[in-house]
Amino acid sequence: MTSRYKPELLKFMSYKDGVEYNSDHAFTMEELLAITPEHVCHWMNELAYGSPVPSDDMRPVHRRSATLEFSKKAISSFMPRINASWDPVTAHGNPTRSDAVNKLIKRVKKFEVRREGVEPIARRSLEFDEFLNSLSLVRSKWGKGETAYM
């Protein structure tokens, strides 16, 4: 599973450090421990809003919450303290499990529910009118006496 997660970590670290990393780059423990929730939030804001610090009137028009959750999960899988929640007082733990990151994703979800974010591209079931149109198309193609399989 880490083969799907590694590109997300590379994109994040490239954004954070301003350096383009190769796919075979191995990050040190110190590099991973230096990640803060602010780094993660700025990157996710850039992905969703197109700006690291979005204004109140901006909408998440570039990424959906599920994509941000996948990125969060991918980065979290490489963190040294994977199971520890983020402690803002001592600045220790897993930064992807911080309140700031969770609130950012929750805000993007809120815009999705209001239909003010990115349109979903998931499959959906047929509406009744669409079903009737496809049914009439099938019936027009084959005669009444013929048997046909779709």
What is the model's pLDDT at position 95? 95
What is the model's pLDDT at position 3? 84
Question: For residue 14, which of 39, 50, 45, 49 has the smallest C-alpha distance?
Answer: 39
Q: Which two tokens stand for residue 107?
A: 């805000």
What is the model's pLDDT at position 107? 95
Instruction: Name the β-bridge partners of 92.
Output: 87
Question: For residue 100, which of 8, 38, 32, 12 has the smallest C-alpha distance?
Answer: 38
Distance CA(44)–CA(17), nearest Å, equals 15
| Residue 149 predicted with pLDDT over 90 | no
Per cent of the chain over pLDDT 70 is 93
Sign, Cα dihedral of 118, 124, 127, 130: positive
| Residue 147 predicted with pLDDT over 80 | no
Distance CA(95)–CA(42), nearest Å, equals 12
Instruction: Name the β-bridge partners of 87.
Output: 92
Burial class (CB in 10 A: 0-12, 13-18, 19+), 117: buried
Domain boundaries of the chain, sorted by first residue:
2-124
Given pLDDT bands bounded at 50, 70 and 90, which one contains residue 8? very high
Tally Cβ neighbours within 10 Å of residue 65. 21
What is the model's pLDDT at position 144? 63
pLDDT tens digits for 91-129? Answer: 899 999 999 999 999 999 999 999 998 888 877 788 899
pLDDT tens digits for 45-79? Answer: 999 999 999 999 999 999 999 999 999 999 999 99
Q: Which two tokens stand for residue 150?
A: 């779709």
